[in-house]
Amino acid sequence: MAEHLSQSELDYPFKLLEYFNGFRVSKVIFSACELGVFDLLLRRPRKPISGSAVWAQDLSCKRGGRDGETEWTPGWGIEILGVETKDGTDYSFCFHFGSSSSDVANLLPSPKAAGSPLHDMIIYQSQTIYPLWNNMADAVRGRIKIEKTFGLPSEDIFKALYRSRGEMLKFMGLMNSSWVLDGHDIVTAFNLSGFQKIVDLGGCTGALAREMAKAWPSSSVTVLDLPQVVEAAQKHFPQEDDAVEFQSGDFFSDEIPPADLYILARIIHDWPEEKCVTLLKKIHDSCRPGGGVLLVEALLFENRRGPVTAQIFSLNMLVQTEGRERPPSEYTRILEKTGFHNVQVCRTGKCYDTILATR
């Protein structure tokens, strides 16, 4: 039975206060990840983690982070992280971030445990995106953001994002991690079995391309990206018996290789419309007859009042790029303007959606 709330409880601005605290909750998760708390939980799944001594020993922190206090004890840190404890001793990995605890356990953002895809996502959010969001008001006023946050010129967004090799690798880690969650839904949203040669333009580490090759094994899949990205993808994100090939190139200034299907995953949202039109026209010219283009983006509702994730992604584009998220009608208009037709939209119900158009 629903609990009866008094009028004064109903009037209390819980939601507002919860939003005010949102950044603090994020920082708890980010800091836990950076400190290796998830590693500790993985290593000690059946033992009590009851005192600051354990945190001090395992996380190389002072006792509890501050003399004599116990901030990083299970008391509140674990509570926010949503780890459940049975009989006060057994820390099971029931994160409340997903529906199935076992699935979520596999995604634990542990820095050391192999196959912890959310780790790279969290590190990039914490160290790069968090400071950028600090300049939200300036970004809304139309002022340059990356320039202010990191002291870099932002006329070439990827020069700024790749301002050091370390930053580039962190960005690549973030890109790599998303497709663990959404990749399969994206590549199977449409029947793509008729496309023989697929080129993933700006395909980064090849994570989505590999999902594509797995789902459609009779196709050949090539990732095209900037030379330094291709070199780093092969060195730092290699895969045995890789099903995808890599090719270096600049999709704005070099020729686009001929193919039956081009993937543009999270590419259009980086750029203003003129650049998107230039790129899509080039793709149209290189596309084989009967071929197409598959856009992968977080689609806004037509009235732009949701989904919240897509709105937040759009603000994220605002603080660091010249682009934004768009509703399906805008993609359709741009695709038709560049010669594509038969535009089909598929909302996956996850963070990213997909649009297929034919030449």
Ligand X SMILES: C[S@@+](CC[C@H](N)C(=O)[O-])C[C@H]1O[C@@H](n2cnc3c(N)ncnc32)[C@H](O)[C@@H]1O
Spatial CA neighbour of 321 closest among 118, 171, 114: 171
348 forms part of the interface with ligand X (CB under 6 A): no
Q: Which helix (H) or strand (E) holds 265?
A: strand 259-265
The two tokens of residue 273 are 């419309």
Binding piece for ligand X, criterion CB under 6 A, among 6-14, 20-28, 203-211, 330-338: 203-211
Residues 45 and 240: their CA atoms lie apart, in Å, by: 31
Binding piece for ligand X, criterion CB under 6 A, among 2-10, 18-26, 138-146, 250-258: 250-258
270 forms part of the interface with ligand X (CB under 6 A): yes
Place of tokens 């973030």: 174
Question: Measured from the CB atom, is 99 or 253 closer to ligand X?
Answer: 253
**Among 28, 152, 226, 346, which residue interacts with ligand X (rule: CB under 6 A)?**
226
282 forms part of the interface with ligand X (CB under 6 A): no
Q: Is 188 helix (H, G, I), strand (E, B) or coil?
A: coil
Q: Which helix (H) or strand (E) holds 336?
A: helix 328-337
Question: Measured from the CB atom, is 28 or 215 closer to ligand X?
Answer: 215
Question: Measured from the CB atom, is 110 or 316 closer to ligand X?
Answer: 316
Residues of this chain, 304-333, that bind ligand X according to CB under 6 A? none
First to last CA, the chain: 56
**What one-letter code names the amino acid at 102?**
S
Contact 351, 309 (CB under 8 A): yes
267 forms part of the interface with ligand X (CB under 6 A): yes
Residues of this chain, 141-170, that bind ligand X according to CB under 6 A? 158
Question: Measured from the CB atom, is 30 or 251 closer to ligand X?
Answer: 251
251 forms part of the interface with ligand X (CB under 6 A): yes
**Among 192, 244, 265, 295, which residue interacts with ligand X (rule: CB under 6 A)?**
265
Residues 7 and 53: their CA atoms lie apart, in Å, by: 45
Strand partners, 356: 294, 344
Residues 298 and 333: their CA atoms lie apart, in Å, by: 17
**Which residues contact residue 104 at a Cβ distance below 8 angstroms, ignoring those fewer than 6 apart?**
93, 95, 97, 98
203 forms part of the interface with ligand X (CB under 6 A): yes
**What one-letter code names the amino acid at 276?**
C
Question: Measured from the CB atom, is 52 or 178 closer to ligand X?
Answer: 178
Binding piece for ligand X, criterion CB under 6 A, among 69-77, 80-88, 103-111, 201-209: 201-209
* Catalytic pick among 4, 184, 269, 341: 269
Q: Is 269 a catalytic residue?
A: yes
Site residues for ligand X per CB under 6 A? 158, 175, 202-204, 208, 225-226, 229, 250-252, 265-267, 270
User: What residues are labeled active site?
Assistant: 269
